[in-house]
A and B are shown apart, each in its own frame.
Chain A
Amino acid sequence: HVSACVPPSVPRLLIVYPWTQRFFSSFGNLSSPTAIIGNPKVRAHGKKVLTSFGDAIKNLDNIKTTYSKLSELHCDKLHVDPENFRLLGDILVIVLASHFGGDFTPACQFAWQKLVGVVAHALAHKYH
């Protein structure tokens, strides 16, 4: 069920913080929330993010190494401001909250905000 929350976070990021669309100009139609949610390239990207997030969770003691190449890619090729990783993390937390309701206790939220913070930090780690 957690994995169900990751893919919808990507379209939600593009809708809530529209300036993040700047990285996806090749994705085609992003002209409205409906277009963004239905866009197959956005969906595919959501799946990529999910797979990568899964890798992070499997390698919690070793995140910086796990994300080393991905970090270089986001810096050197994709030129993504690391602030965007924090934005995506915040959105993911909110999607998790919608999904789990009262089970998403304050302690749970604390743990997840820390996790997304660690992931964002690891993705930014190789920036130069």
Chain B
Amino acid sequence: MVLSGNDKTNVKGLFAKIGGQADDYGAETLERMFVTYPQTKTYFAHFDMAKGSAQIKGHGKKVAAALVEAVNHIDDIAGALSKLSDLHAQKLRVDPVNFKLLGQCFLVVVATRNPAALTPEVHASLDKFLCAVGNVLTAKYR
């Protein structure tokens, strides 16, 4: 699966709209993921799961930053996220299925906050982008 020129434009455009709220998007994505897919909490047994917890906010910021970094280097996501890819392969070892769940929740956050922006075409591009990020993060698993 390859990101077309259109996909890249759509993704960059959407993230430009998100702008400084990326941290909030990240935190809400995680909150939704933990509620909607409780099994994802198994990777965060040490976290305070209360709504608005500092840990969830902090981790949401990290997730958002990684997505923004990928958007800013959308022609070479693998290069941009190489260290993160190593981390997931060697230390975190989050099962690959969970990246799709995170992606779904990010799409839901975008949908609730920017319904007009999430046209079917932009939805397709964003979904492809999130898949690409997930693929990069699991690329070195074996």
Binding site for B on A (CB under 8 A): 11-12, 15-16, 18, 33, 37, 90, 93-95, 97-102, 104, 106-107, 109-110, 113
Residues of A within 8 A of B112 (CB): 97-98, 100-102, 104
A7 CB to closest chain B CB, in angstroms?
Answer: 13
Q: Quick one: which of B35, B104, B111, B120 has the most chain A CB within 10 A?
A: B120
B115 close to A109 (CB less than 8 A) = no
Binding site for A on B (CB under 8 A): 31-32, 35-37, 104-105, 107-108, 111-113, 115, 118, 120-121, 123-124, 127
A101 close to B123 (CB less than 8 A) = no
Residue of B32, B120, B123, B124 touching A109 (CB-CB under 8 A): B32
The 7 A-B pairs with the shortest beta carbon distances in the complex, nearest first, are A97-B111, A98-B115, A106-B35, A15-B120, A98-B111, A16-B124, A97-B108
Residues of B within 8 A of A107 (CB): 35
Residues of B within 8 A of A15 (CB): 120-121, 123-124
Number of A-B contacts (CB under 8 A): 57
A16 close to B127 (CB less than 8 A) = yes
Residues of A within 8 A of B36 (CB): 106, 109-110, 113
Residue of A12, A18, A106 touching B32 (CB-CB under 8 A): A106
B32 CB to closest chain A CB, in angstroms?
Answer: 5
Residues of A within 8 A of B104 (CB): 90, 93-94
Bound CA span A91–B36, Å: 15
Residue of B37, B111, B113, B121 touching A94 (CB-CB under 8 A): B111
12 more contacts with CB within 8 A, not counting A15-B120, A94-B107, are A11-B120, A16-B120, A37-B120, A93-B108, A94-B111, A97-B111, A97-B115, A99-B115, A101-B113, A104-B112, A107-B35, A109-B108
B131 CB to closest chain A CB, in angstroms?
Answer: 11
Residues of A within 8 A of B113 (CB): 101
Residue of A16, A102, A110 touching B123 (CB-CB under 8 A): A16
A109 close to B121 (CB less than 8 A) = no
Residues of B within 8 A of A106 (CB): 31-32, 35-36
Residues of B within 8 A of A94 (CB): 104, 107-108, 111, 118, 123
A112 CB to closest chain B CB, in angstroms?
Answer: 9
B107 close to A33 (CB less than 8 A) = no
